[in-house]
Amino acid sequence: MSAEANLARAEGEWGAEVGAAYSLPLLPGFTLRPGGGVFVYERENDRYFIDRFDDGDGRCRDITNGQFADSDLCGNTSVSAYARLEGTYTLLGTTEVGIGGRLSGDGLRPYATASFPVLPRVRVKANGGDRYFALGLRADF
């Protein structure tokens, strides 16, 4: 079992990936790692805005009709779930390299992955592919 926290560029946005995976050792050196998680990012919001008053307070408004709106609609934070599958090979006993596929709101994205240990059971990990990039830490349990 492992947990990951990454800074990522996915679905056309910068954000944070938080996920978990399960390691399935296949052959010596080869590991299959299915997993999933959420991508948290700030999305564009062209419909709602905070209208500031002279006293500094503000209320959420709908730009299409000028009416006040629920303040949650002015929040730009969005969460998107993803699933992924990685296959890796361990080189020189410590460094992992491999390939993976990430399934999310904008489809299946293949990517390359690499990681190396920085502490016992903690690795720096990088993923990179077509319109997808992530860099962060993986903790193995």
Q: Is 128 among the domain residues?
A: yes
pLDDT given at position 65: 93
3-state secondary structure labels for all residues of the chain: CEEEEEEEEECCEEEEEEEEECCEECCCCEEEEEEEEEEEEECCCCCEEEEECCCCCEEEEECCCCCECCHHHHCCEEEEEEEEEEEEEEECCCEEEEEEEEEECCEEEEEEEEEEEEECCEEEEEEEECCEEEEEEEEEC
Domain total for the chain? 1
**What is the domain extent for residue 13?**
2-43+76-140
Q: Which CATH number do you get for residue 86?
A: 2.40.160.20
Give the tens place of pLDDT for each residue, 33-78.
999 999 999 876 778 888 888 777 888 889 899 899 888 788 778 8
